[in-house]
Structures are given as structure tokens and as C-alpha cells.
Structure 1
């Protein structure tokens, strides 16, 4: 492994052998924000390990640090490097479309990972690899209906505004909730930017504002446990908590019976799926346009059937 400093950001360049042959596939990946949560940190580690283990791959690994302008610069740099394929975990699904279009015009296929881009940009990508976030939201709504026996008042803590994953999970949840249990009222939605401490503050405000809250849906378990902590501090043990992307803290809360359910999603599988999709695209293999991996429901009753997440 060697480390190179580029004009726009630090990059880790990984070659699995000591030389690069003419058949080596050069993959450039620009990630969203590795430091924001343990899911993205684990994803990067798994991606690095998978790239190193593949004798056909050389990978340039970049992190946008949540900065849209930096990610657009990284896309431009990868195009100038003439990598064989680009993987992008978009910081903003709309803003990155022009950069993806530039890569497509340069003849470099793009694989979007984890979070989709704006629909208008799909014509410029080779594939999307990741979870079906609308389906995850629907799963969460079904668990909420079960937890509340089809009636009650709930609040929603969403992820980062403008971020496709956050929007799709909210969309899937709200649509399925209206179908499956119309007597459950969603009173308010507030964002917490995937941050546990911010989610705790949002929940504290909800508890002050509403006399009755029967359930909370959070866009991931990191935020869900933040909301749970606020409820515990207020002595509220009568609230059902539903999340998505099952974190270790959510898993542990389910084991204790404090957290009703979530959606099981592996960052390791996410990373490997993205790498394998990119390799298949370069090799000309048939790849689904939307290459989803499975994300099943997990509840306090079924938690023992799943391995504890490593993030």
C-alpha cells in the first residue's frame, strides 16, 4: 500500500501486487464522509480489504468529507487520471450529477454506491449498488404498525436534508404507514443529520412539545438510540422505537428489550457489492441497473438470529 497526496484530497492507492499490469482494473472511489459515523468507517475498511485481496484491482480511495465541492473536484481528478471505473458515494444526489455526466462523456463508467443520485442522472451511470432505501422505510413502517397494533401517534427523526438515503427512507416509511395503518398519525418530522447527540436533542424537544408519543421512527439506529436516550432520561418507557441500518447500539438496545426493531444492513456487504459491481462493469458483464443487496427486518424477538453489527 502507498499513500499519494493529490491536488484535491489525500488518496490511498492500493495495488494488490507489487506491479500494475495492462490487465489491472483501476478503480477510483470518492466517498461521502468517512468520519461521520461508524457505518462509513467500516465500509471504507471493508472496501480497502476487498481491493487489496483482488489481484485484478488497483484502487484510488478518496473521501469528500461531506463537502459537495470537494467531491466534484475528486470526480474531475479521477477523470483526469483516466481510471477504468469510478465509484461514488454521493454527498448530494442532485449536485454531483454534472460531475458524473462529465465522467460518462469521458467514457468512464460510474457506479453509484449506497445512496442514489437524482433520477435525472441515472442515464449517466452504469449501475447503482447498495440497499433499497424505500424498501427499508416500508419495512420500518410495517414494524411500527405491529408495535402499536395499528393505532397511535408517532414522530420521525430523519437523516441529512437533501441526502437521497434520508429522503427515500422517509418516503418509503410514510407511504407504507398510510397503507398499512392509517390510524397511526405521523405528527412531525425533524432532521438530525445522522448524529446521535442531535437526535437526542430533537427527541427532547418532541417530548416537551407533545403530551403523547407512542412511537419514534429514526432514519438509522444511531439517531434512534439518541432518541431512546432522551426518552429514558425523561422516564418514558412506553414508546416504541423503530430504526434502519442496524447499528451495534441498536442491536444491544433490542437485546435489552428497549428498542422494537430495525433493518439489518451490512457495510461490509455494501462495500464488497460496490467493488464487485465496478469490476463486472469494466469486464463487460451483465449487471442490473439497480443492484440491491438484501436488508431484512430485525426485531427484539428475532435479534438472536442475527450477528451483532461491527459498527
Structure 2
């Protein structure tokens, strides 16, 4: 009898032990599931150049927006407007096994093969400002550069006087935004105003200092300049800086794109004519939303754009207030 009792007791202990192991395994599985749902994703943001006022604005906006996503750890890198440096940074992001790489290209075609490497490595990729089109598996967040320029060009048709002399400041050759904005000015303005003469045109690479050097040359070489047509605000501001104390240019017209803090304040002062708002805040919001959807598996590929409202004297105050609320204007 004692033997039977001991045997039954042993069996009960074994059953209890197995039940305990099963319970622990289930608990561990639940903990693993919870851990997986709270995974932190490594994201690299590779900026075109922090010396570019819009690129800096966008990088800061992306950093601020990323703070709203506890599952995203963002690292920001400065490409310094150098293709080799930026391409090296993209390769490093692959080597360091980032979960997603966001690229603001310096020159889209130069970065294309490196973004393709990101996708081939099984890493999510987003191109922004400007997008690199046609990379299968890569997403993009951008604006329509043709329309950004067109909203300026269409009002310039009425504003720029007959037989005017103008100068044109371009972004980097091969850059999607630079090329599309220049194409837009040609179709929407120059083809419709054959009386207007271009007396100076140069690539200033989005850079204020380069634009200033070209404007200094053009002022010396021409008896009059009626308008500055710039593919971004930074270059327009550089050109305006050269002539700011010269009464000869008090009626100079100037057009840009981006809606930077500097540009809207110049419009408020009456020194700049108009720009197209390319809101870094809107871009950042869409970039992080897109990132989160890709990383969590909600979407496999996303291509989306923001709007491009015209900013001019009659509505500049609302954009100044927007930038003040965000801290971009103190």
C-alpha cells in the first residue's frame, strides 16, 4: 500500500512539474510577444547639407517629429553637399544594420545606386526633398517641384515689366527639384514672355554665398536688373543681400521656393516678392508617419507629397505666425 502511495505521489509531482513548465513557457512567449511589439527601430536620416538653410530646417523638423515615436531611434548625418560623403554614409548605414534609411539627396542620380543597395540589403528606404523616382521597393515623401516654381512664375507674368532684364539662380544640375523648377519657369514664364532677357544665369548649388558672388558680377556687368528668379530662397536671399543698400534696386523683384524664415521676413519687409511654401514641418510629419507604417508592417511602399502654397505680401503674416509657433522665428 505504501508502495502504491509513493508511486502515485511521484506521478502527481511529475504532472505538477510539467504543468509548471508549460505555464512558464507560455508566460515567456507572452513576454517575447510584448517585447516584439515594443521593438525600437534604428533609423538613419542622411541630410543633403546642414549649411543649406532649408536642409537644416528639415533635419531639425525631422528630429522633433521623431520624438513623438518612442519606437524610433533617429540618427542624423550631414552629407555636406558632397556626393562621395553622402554615398559613404548610406553604405555605413547598411553596414550598421539600420532598419530604415532616409536620404535627402544631394544629387539624385549620384545617390540612386546607393539607395538601391539599401533596398537590396532588405532595409527600408525613403527618399525626400527630392525623391529619387523609379527605385522598386523604395518609398518617397516630397513636393511637386514643377508646381512650386509655377505658382511664382504665373504671378511673375503680370509683375515683371516689359523688356525686363533678369538673372536666374539654379540648383545643382541633375537634382530633381532644381531641374523641374527651372523647367517650370521656362514653360510658365519665359516661353510666354519672349520680351524678357536673361542677362545672367548660373548654378549656385542652393548656396547663399555662391549666389552672392554671382550677383556681384551681374551688378557690375549690367546697367539694370529687374528681377531675380531663384530656384530656392537661400540663393534669392544671397542675391538680395548684395543690393540691399543700393537705391537703384529698391524695386527689384525676387522669387524663391521653400518658405524659409528668412524668406518670409524678406517678403514682409517688401524686399522679396514671393516664394512657394515647402513646409519642413509637413514633410517631417509625413516622413515619420511613412517610416512608422513601413517599420510596423502597415504598408510596404508609400509615395506621398505635400502642398505648395504661394507666399506673398498679402498672406505672409499667416506664415510668419506659423513659423513663430514652431519656433523657427523668435
**Fold match by TM threshold 0.5:** yes
Structure 2 residue aligned with 1:80, among 80, 92, 95?
A: 95
Contact 1:277/1:287 (<8 A) preserved: no
Structure 2 residue aligned with 1:129, among 132, 141, 153?
A: 141
Contact 2:227/2:254 (<8 A) preserved: yes
Tell whether 2:46 aligns with 1:30.
yes
Partner of 1:6: none
Partner of 1:307: 320
Contact 2:49/2:79 (<8 A) preserved: yes
Partner Cα separation in structure 2 for residue 298 and residue 150 of structure 1? 24
Q: How far did 1:89 drift?
A: 0.9
Tell whether 2:288 aligns with 1:280.
no
Partner Cα separation in structure 1 for residue 242 and residue 95 of structure 2? 49
Partner of 2:13: none
Tell whether 2:250 aligns with 1:237.
yes
Tell me which protein shows more strand as a share of its residues: 1
Contact 2:46/2:103 (<8 A) preserved: yes
Distance verdict in 2 for CA 1:33–1:229, change over 3 Å: closer
Distance verdict in 2 for CA 1:155–1:63, change over 3 Å: same
Structure 2 residue aligned with 1:70, among 85, 93, 102?
A: 85
Query: Could you report, residue by residue, the CA deviation over 1:45-89 in whole angstroms, capped at 9, with x for unpaired residues?
Result: 222222222122222332222232222222222223333222111
Contact 2:129/2:142 (<8 A) preserved: yes
Q: How many positions carry a matched residue from both structures? A: 288
Q: Once structures 1 and 2 are overlaid, which stretch shifts more, 100-109 or 278-287?
A: 278-287
Partner Cα separation in structure 1 for residue 298 and residue 193 of structure 2? 43
Task: Give unpaired runs (5+ residues) of structure 1.
Answer: 1-19
Q: Once structures 1 and 2 are overlaid, which stretch shifts more, 87-96 or 178-187?
A: 178-187
Q: How far did 1:193 drift?
A: 2.5
Partner of 1:108: 123
Structure 1 residue matching 2:201: 3-state secondary structure: strand
The 5 Å alignment of 1:13-28 reads 21-23=35-37, 24=39, 25-28=41-44
Q: How far did 1:279 drift?
A: 1.8
- RMSD of aligned Cα (Å): 2.5
Tell whether 2:173 aligns with 1:165.
no
Tell whether 2:238 aligns with 1:226.
yes
Distance verdict in 2 for CA 1:52–1:289, change over 3 Å: closer
Bigger-Rg structure (1/2)? 2
Tell whether 2:223 aligns with 1:211.
yes
Partner Cα separation in structure 1 for residue 89 and residue 233 of structure 2? 30
Partner Cα separation in structure 2 for residue 151 and residue 125 of structure 1? 49
Q: Once structures 1 and 2 are overlaid, which stretch shifts more, 185-194 or 221-230?
A: 185-194
Distance verdict in 2 for CA 1:150–1:87, change over 3 Å: farther
Partner Cα separation in structure 2 for residue 175 and residue 83 of structure 1? 42
Partner Cα separation in structure 1 for residue 81 and residue 45 of structure 2? 14
Normalised by the length of structure 2, the TM-score is 0.78
Structure 1 residue matching 2:36: 3-state secondary structure: coil
Partner of 2:310: 297
Partner of 2:62: 47
Contact 2:290/2:302 (<8 A) preserved: no
